[in-house]
Amino acid sequence: MKKNKLAVITGLATIFTFTFAGYETTQTPTTVSAASKIHVTYTLKVNNKNYKKRTVKLAKHSTVMQGLRKLWHVKSTNGFITSIAGKSQNKAKHVYWTYTINGKFANKGATEQRVGNKDKIKFTLAKMN
């Protein structure tokens, strides 16, 4: 009788040990995943007015284009953005999309430029001389 009780207690202890160990392992990736996200704010400016503004959660090391495509429908040709959210450039009138990061003009294309946490990206559709 004592051997049966000992076997049952040992079995239950083993089950609880593996159960709690399993919970611990499943919790860790969730915490790491949440910590690897960044927040980036995008603004679209059309006709000298802020047209749309949204904040998106992205993975670290994401590009400007990845965030932009997550928020709006984007068209591009040869690496140049030609349309965002239905607002298109006009080559004949020399109206094009440009963008800034934290108030400074970017020196890379949107597919190459990486974003950081709390960056503010502004896309402007305006006439270029």
User: Which tokens belong to 111?
Assistant: 């597919």
What is residue 36's predicted lDDT score, i.e. its pLDDT? Answer: 86
CA distance 66 to 37: 13
* DSSP β-bridge partners for residue 95: 90, 127
Cβ proximity of 53 and 41 under 8 Å: yes
What is residue 115's predicted lDDT score, i.e. its pLDDT? Answer: 97
Q: How far is CA 47 from the centre of its chain?
A: 27
What is residue 14's predicted lDDT score, i.e. its pLDDT? Answer: 53
Q: Which residues of the chain register pLDDT less than 70?
A: 1-34
- The Cα-based distances of 25 to 35, 39, 53, 59 in angstroms read 16, 27, 38, 22
DSSP state string for the chain = -HHHHHHHHHHHHHHHHHHHHHHHHHHHHHHHHHHTEEEEEEEEEETTEEEEEEEEEEETT-BHHHHHHHHS-EEEETTEEEEETTEE-BTTTTEEEEEEETTEE-SS-TTT-B--TT-EEEEEEEE--
What's the pTM?
A: 0.72
What is residue 20's predicted lDDT score, i.e. its pLDDT? Answer: 46
Residue that the structure tokens 């993975």 belong to:
59
User: Which tokens belong to 81?
Assistant: 């953005």
